[in-house]
Amino acid sequence: MARKRPLRAAVTIALIALVLAIGWVWVHPFVAFLMGLFLLNAVGEFLFPIRYKITNEGVEVSSFLHDRKLRWEQIRRLVAFHDSVFLSPFPKPNRLDSLRGVWLRWDGEPEGLQELIKICQKHTQTQDRT
pLDDT at 112: 83
Q: C-alpha 108: how far from its chain's center?
A: 17
Q: pLDDT-derived band of residue 2, with 50, 70 and 90 as boundaries? A: low
Q: What percent of the chain has pLDDT over 90?
A: 15
Provide the edge-to-edge strand list for the sheet that holds 51-54: 51-54, 58-62, 67-71
pLDDT at 118: 87
pLDDT at 71: 92
Quick: pLDDT tens for 90-123. Answer: 999 989 988 888 888 887 787 888 888 888 888 8
- Please check whether residue 46 is in contact with residue 9, taking contact to mean a CB–CB distance below 8 angstroms: yes
Per this entry, what is the length of the chain? 130
